[in-house]
Amino acid sequence: MYEAHFGLRTAPFALTPDTGFFFRNDAHVEALDVLRHALSQGEGFIKITGEVGTGKTLLCRLLLNGLHGDWVTAWVPNPYLDPDALRRAIADELRVPLGPTPRQHTVVRKLQERLIELASEGKRVAVIIDEAQALSDQSLEALRLLSNLETETRKLLHVVLFGQPELDERLAQPQLRQLQQRIGFGYRLRPLDAEGVALYLQHRLAIAGYNGRPLFAAPVLRRLHRDSRGIPRLLNVLAHKSLLLAYGRGLREVGMAEVALAVRDTDGAGRPRGAVSRLAVRPWAWGALLAVAVGAMAWWGLRA
């Protein structure tokens, strides 16, 4: 809506995890390094955790895009699966032929045969699960048992878990201690610091085609860092709404007033850590924002 006004080719702050906008901050680079090293070492389980909106799904996609050659991947984006459904989902990703109603032992046997077949071809298999904190205890145990499939010299299956901090709490339960002990490497994603917020916004604007004077002055950047707490998804929401308001007012840069309104309009923004952060938008507020933008478009259209 505001792209032409600010000289942008595309929307810079969409919420979809677009790898083309990947910002190489220290935390994400370190997390990728941990993943690559752990997989190269043949670890059975690897864990990446982080708060909502810190970029776990983006990392997941970067990992999937980067595993080529000898790697075969099975991606499970929906963790709300019982053990049988989870095994079938992995089998489907690995192109294991199953009948319409296979028995549990049949699925496990065919999975093992497929893994041995891939190993004989020099392939390595990684199962990547997003939102892993939502897996039931039974499904987590099913994963652990699948990881028992191995030869005398190496694992046949590597599992990467991406999840919210609740995953750490789940794995600390006594009934899951066997799985926790098998996690060879883990990493906790950190929010962006103040400098990282400025570089992040600048990076996304540049990818979107912006080439002009700064749209966010230093005081505005400090306010965005404070009220987003350095969480990239929340920062995207606030930056997008601030630009929308600036556009609606015919401004060429974002001011403190626009950020303040964006913060007021966004659940989870400006609250202390530990508060619920749904990143939702109040319907009446969106209506107000859109009314401003539509009014601006009509005004600019009359002037053209």
pTM beyond 0.95: no
Q: What's the residue count for the chain? A: 304
pLDDT band at 88 (very low <50, low <70, confident <90, very high): very high
In a 13 Å sphere around the CA of 257, the CA atoms on its Cβ side amount to 7
Domains in the chain, number: 2
Residues 17 and 182: their CA atoms lie apart, in Å, by 29
**Residue 130 structural domain:** 26-188
**Residue 149 and residue 236 in one domain:** no
Query: What are the backbone dihedrals phi and psi of residue 201, each rounded to the nearest 5 degrees, phi first?
Result: -65, -45
**Residue 180 and residue 216 in one domain:** no
From 129, 155, 188, the end of a domain falls on 188
Residues 55 and 32: their CA atoms lie apart, in Å, by 12
**Residue 174 and residue 279 in one domain:** no
In a domain, 21, yes or no: no
Mean pLDDT, rounded, for 158-170: 94
**Residue 201 and residue 180 in one domain:** no
In a domain, 3, yes or no: no
Query: Does 291 score more than 60 pLDDT?
Result: no
Q: What is the DSSP string of 216-261?
A: B-HHHHHHHHHHHTT-HHHHHHHHHHHHHHHHHTT-SSB-HHHHHH
Mean pLDDT, rounded, for 213-222: 96
**Residue 73 and residue 123 in one domain:** yes
pLDDT band at 154 (very low <50, low <70, confident <90, very high): confident
Mean pLDDT, rounded, for 259-281: 68
**Residue 123 and residue 257 in one domain:** no
**Residue 291 and residue 235 in one domain:** yes
Mean pLDDT, rounded, for 289-296: 51
In a domain, 107, yes or no: yes
pLDDT band at 275 (very low <50, low <70, confident <90, very high): very low
From 130, 160, 188, the end of a domain falls on 188
Mean pLDDT, rounded, for 28-38: 93
From 159, 188, 217, the end of a domain falls on 188
Nearest Cα to Cα of residue 141 among 124, 156, 159: 159
pLDDT at 304: 43
Query: Does 273 score more than 60 pLDDT?
Result: no
pLDDT at 42: 85
pLDDT at 205: 97
Query: Does 280 score more than 70 pLDDT?
Result: no
pLDDT at 78: 86
E strand or H helix that includes residue 27: helix 26-40
Mean pLDDT, rounded, for 262-266: 93
**Residue 203 and residue 281 in one domain:** yes
Would you tell me how many other CB atoms lie within 10 Å of the CB of residue 143? 24
**Residue 32 and residue 107 in one domain:** yes
**Residue 184 and residue 236 in one domain:** no
How far is C-alpha 84 from the geometric centre of its chain's CA atoms? 26
